[in-house]
Amino acid sequence: MSSTGRPEIEIRGLHKSFGDNEVLRGIDLDIGRGEVVCVIGPSGSGKSTLLRCVNLLEEPTAGQVFVGGTEVTDLDVDIDAVRRRIGMVFQQFNLFPHVTVTENLTLPQRRVLRRDKVEAFEVARRNLERVGLADKADAYPSQLSGGQQQRVAIARALSMGPEVMLFDEPTSALDPELVGDVLAVMRQLAAEGMTMMVVTHEMSFAREVADRVVFMDGGVIVEEGPAERVVGDPQQERTRNFLMRILDPAAAEQPGDTTSERPAKEL
C-alpha cells in the first residue's frame, strides 16, 4: 500500500494548546497515498486532537498540515473544498435521527456536492452495499444496532467521494460483539487502497491492517514503524508498557510507568 511521490497527508511541526495545556508538541508525520496508519496511545496523549487538526476541526497553534498538496493551515485556504476530499468517522455516529438511512446518505451529497436526487440515491445505494446494509436503506437510525449505525456513518462518508478517510476510535462506543462488522468494513476499504488515518485501541486491527503504527504519549510521537514491529516488537519502553496493559490487562502496573492511563478525557 505504499505510495510514491508526495504524501497524501503531511504534518509538519504541529503544536496544539488548550490554554496552558500543550496537547501536541511538534508532530511530524507523513501518510502516503493508499497507506493505512493507525495511531495508538493512552488516553490524553493527543491522538484525537492530531486527527482533528488534519481537517481543521481543531485549529493548530503552530505548524502546517497538507492534504493532497493543499495546505489546510493556510489562512486563505478554502477549507470547505478541502473537507470534501476528507471523510471523517467519529466515535459517535452523528446520524440524523428523523430521516431514513438513505436520506442520511443523500442529504449531504445534495446539499454539499449539489448532486441531483437520482445520482445521490445511486451513490447511497452502492455504498450501503459496500458496508453490507443494503437491506436497511429505509430504516431509521433508532431501528439499527450501534454497529449498523457506525457502518451507515462510514457509508455516508464514502458517499462524498473522499480521497482520505479519518477514523476517530470508530469502535469505542460499540458493544464488543458489534465491533467485528465495523472492522471488516475498514479492512475492505484498506484492501481497496483507501488512504486511512485511524485512531484506535484495536491492536489486532492495527497489527493486521495498518502499514504503519504510530505510538503517541504526552503529545509527541514516541515510536513509529511497520505495524508488525511496533505492535509485535516495540523498541521503546513506553510503547512496551502501554501494549502490555492493552494486550494483558491483568498485568501489574509498574511503578513510575509513564504510560499509565490518565484520568483526563482524550483530547
Whole-number pLDDT of residue 176: 87
Whole-number pLDDT of residue 188: 95
CA dihedral defined by 15, 73, 44, 236, rounded to 10 degrees?
A: -60
CA–CA distance, 164 with 267 (Å, rounded to integer): 22
Whole-number pLDDT of residue 247: 81
Query: For 101, left (φ over 0), alpha (ψ -120 to 50), or beta?
Result: alpha
Write the single-letter amino acid at 12.
R
pLDDT digit string, tens, across residues 230-257: 999 999 999 999 999 888 766 545 544 4
Whole-number pLDDT of residue 89: 95
Please state the pTM of the whole predicted model: 0.89
Q: Which residue has the cell 435521527?
A: 97
Packing angle, helices 101-108 and 146-158, rounded to 10: 30
**Residues of the chain where predicted confidence (pLDDT) is lower than 50:** 1-4, 252, 255-267
Cell numbers that stand for 197 in this block? 488515518
Count other Cβ atoms within 10 Å, centred on residue 10: 18
Q: How far is CA 179 from the centre of its chain?
A: 15
CA dihedral defined by 32, 195, 119, 94, rounded to 10 degrees?
A: -130
Whole-number pLDDT of residue 20: 94
